[in-house]
């Protein structure tokens, strides 16, 4: 049933949001300074986005 699948999927994510699957992040590179600077220039407001999306809990 869908409830069992939902529990399994929820268990794959730690409280800090990271994925709990061994090796999941092995090939993920840390962003470079240029990428971080570009990210900061986006002027993204996470709280505003979540409110717009109707998310009340994180």
Question: pLDDT digits over 23-53, tens only?
Answer: 999 999 999 999 999 999 998 999 999 999 9
What's the predicted TM-score (pTM) here?
Answer: 0.54
User: In the structure, what pLDDT confidence band is assigned to residue 9 with cuts at 50, 70 and 90?
Assistant: very high
pLDDT higher than threshold 80 for residue 57: no
Going by C-alpha positions, the residue among 10, 9, 8, 13 that lies closest to residue 24 is 13
| Cα gap 39→18, rounded to integer Å | 20
**CA-based torsion, 20, 22, 27, 32: positive or negative:** positive
């Amino acid at each position: 049933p869908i409830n069992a699948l939902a529990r399994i999927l929820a268990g794959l994510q730690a409280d800090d949001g990271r994925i709990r699957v061994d090796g999941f992040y092995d090939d993920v590179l840390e962003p470079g300074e240029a990428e971080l600077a570009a990210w900061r220039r986006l002027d993204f407001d996470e709280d505003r986005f979540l409110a717009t999306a109707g998310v009340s809990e994180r």
